[in-house]
């Protein structure tokens, strides 16, 4: 699933060859434009003034040929920080034309990452595709690793649900493990029903039976004192809502309901590619929430892996039922940190919009790491509170707890509080509620499946591993 970055090319042996011309990309901020105009040929300067180029973020302009015949493209950076504006280049420049970044580009690695993210398209099912312009392959091992991982996650989210069911998603985890020398196993059938009863209940209504995919990996520099990280992803390949059926308008994007799984699979790919000195376990609950005579019903009471019983207040709140069994499994191994990710609630989108995942955490240090990494990586997260005053909203008259609240308020917080019931306070834990979709195309963010949080989560785990190594543990 980690496909090559076909928007890049290796530098030609002879960069002046007529068979492989390489053009130049210069990036400018608005306050740099006047000085840049003074350095250009008079015809080029006049052309930019005539066309009104103002170096706004993501604007691209190819200049008329200079006297030396060189082709130059200008990219406006606006006031933005990071490489996102470079994502406008791949399809604004002529298809398959070759370009290099000008010397002095502030952060070539961030620029290359933005370029690659903007070049991404899900074209697997099209007979004719538009090809991007090509960027000279820079020295960007970290950016390349991140781009390939995010491309994989986007591919998974974009893939139609008839092509990516529970079985197919679990097999991708196996393929990912094989690519990095990790171990993987799949739990299905009677074993799943006994070991993950809540996941089994969610998948009972579908002919495509649920699976749990587990990947285990240990870095080459890890030892018995190295930190243990557990990742748990919601992999609902399609969510009809069950008997609490979604309206058709809400169901149109429900192939993306495995976005949490895709994001954490991408995080795992980055961690393994960077060979961080940790032990990592990735658990993906692969399931489809369908309607049939065998599907779970409203007010059913389910027994979870933890032994806690849950009243099903709403069959469309199935993601937390998937995660609670995975979290219980992760807790049993005593990791140093547990993180789950899911497209869990519409309430998080109402609060923060599509671009900003909601972060909840029981541990102040991990909250700080994740928020700091989100800022430094230009990959936003926004922390919301695990407000204890709402815990009683999950009370049930017939079970240990309900999977929803009777109140329509604070849905994202209530969902996080439900999950917190399955993680003891002694284990640091974080939950990320994300959207995993771009509604429109913007630089570095093409319309369709998205993988928010991959860079910030991987950076926070990298920081934790470095802290532990520095402390001599």
For 394-421, the DSSP string reads G--SSSSEESS-SSSS-HHHHHHHHHHT
113 to 75, 89, 377, 435: CA distances (angstroms)? 15, 12, 11, 21
Which is the catalytic residue, given 209, 253, 320, 455? 320
Q: How many CA atoms lie within 13 A of 362 on its CB side?
A: 21
Which is the catalytic residue, given 131, 216, 228, 246? 246
Instruction: Round to whole Å and give the CA distance between 156 and 172.
Output: 9
Rama region for 184: left / alpha / beta (φ>0; ψ in -120 to 50; rest) = beta
Residue 449's closest CA among 3, 125, 150?
Answer: 150
Instruction: Round to whole Å and give the CA distance between 350 and 365.
Output: 27
The answer for residues whose C-beta is within 8 angstroms of residue 355's C-beta and 6 or more apart is: 380, 435, 452
Which 3 state secondary structure label does DSSP give 266?
Answer: helix
Q: What phi, psi does 212 have (nearest 5°)?
A: -120, 125
Q: Is 320 designated active site? A: yes
Q: What phi, psi does 463 have (nearest 5°)?
A: -60, -45
Instruction: Round to whole Å and give the CA distance between 418 and 152.
Output: 30
Which 3 state secondary structure label does DSSP give 201?
Answer: helix
Sign of the CA dihedral running 158, 445, 113, 343 = negative
Instruction: Round to whole Å and give the CA distance between 254 and 258.
Output: 8
Sign of the CA dihedral running 335, 339, 340, 346 = positive
Active-site residue list: 246, 320
């Amino acid at each position: 699933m980690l496909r090559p970055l076909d928007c890049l090319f290796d530098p030609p042996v002879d960069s002046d060859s007529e068979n492989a011309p390489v053009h130049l990309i210069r990036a400018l901020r608005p306050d740099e434009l006047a000085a840049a105009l003074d350095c250009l040929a008079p015809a080029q300067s006049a052309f930019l003034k005539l066309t009104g180029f103002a170096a706004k973020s993501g604007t691209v302009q190819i200049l008329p040929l200079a006297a030396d015949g060189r082709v130059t493209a200008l990219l406006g950076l606006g006031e933005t920080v990071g490489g996102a504006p470079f994502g406008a280049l791949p399809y604004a420049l002529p298809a398959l034309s070759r370009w290099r970044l000008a010397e002095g580009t502030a952060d070539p690695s961030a620029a290359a990452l933005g370029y690659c993210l903007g070049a991404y398209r899900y074209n697997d099912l099209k007979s004719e595709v538009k090809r991007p312009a090509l960027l000279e392959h820079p020295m960007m091992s970290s950016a390349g690793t991140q781009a390939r991982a995010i491309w994989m996650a986007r591919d998974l989210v974009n893939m139609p649900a008839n092509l990516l069911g529970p079985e197919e998603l679990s097999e991708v985890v196996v393929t990912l493990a094989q690519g990095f020398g990790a171990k993987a196993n799949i739990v299905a059938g009677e074993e799943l029903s006994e070991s993950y009863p809540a996941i089994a209940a969610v998948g009972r209504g579908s002919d495509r039976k649920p699976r749990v995919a587990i990947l285990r990996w240990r870095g080459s520099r890890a030892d018995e004192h190295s930190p243990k990280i557990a990742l748990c992803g919601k992999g609902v390949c399609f969510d009809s809502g069950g008997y609490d059926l979604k309206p058709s308008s809400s169901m149109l994007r429900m192939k993306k309901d495995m976005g949490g799984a895709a994001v954490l699979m991408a995080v795992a790919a980055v961690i393994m590619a960077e060979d961080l000195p940790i032990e990592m376990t990735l658990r993906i609950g692969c399931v489809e929430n369908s309607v049939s005579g065998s599907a779970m019903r409203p007010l059913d009471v389910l027994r979870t892996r933890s032994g806690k019983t849950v009243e099903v207040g709403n069959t469309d709140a199935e993601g937390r039922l998937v995660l609670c069994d995975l979290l219980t499994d992760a807790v049993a191994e005593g990791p140093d940190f547990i993180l789950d990710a899911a497209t869990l609630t519409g309430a998080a989108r109402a609060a923060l919009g599509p671009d900003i995942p909601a972060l909840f955490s029981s541990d102040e240090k991990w909250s700080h790491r994740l928020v700091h990494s989100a800022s430094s990586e230009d990959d936003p997260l926004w922390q919301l509170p695990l407000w204890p005053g709402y815990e009683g909203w999950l009370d049930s008259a017939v079970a240990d707890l309900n999977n929803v609240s009777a109140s329509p308020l604070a849905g994202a917080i209530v969902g996080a509080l439900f999950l917190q019931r399955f993680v003891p306070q002694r284990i640091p834990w974080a939950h990320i509620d994300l959207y995993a979709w771009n509604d429109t195309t913007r630089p570095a963010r093409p319309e369709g499946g998205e993988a928010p949080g991959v860079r910030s989560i991987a950076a926070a785990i990298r920081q934790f591993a470095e802290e532990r190594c520095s402390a001599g543990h």
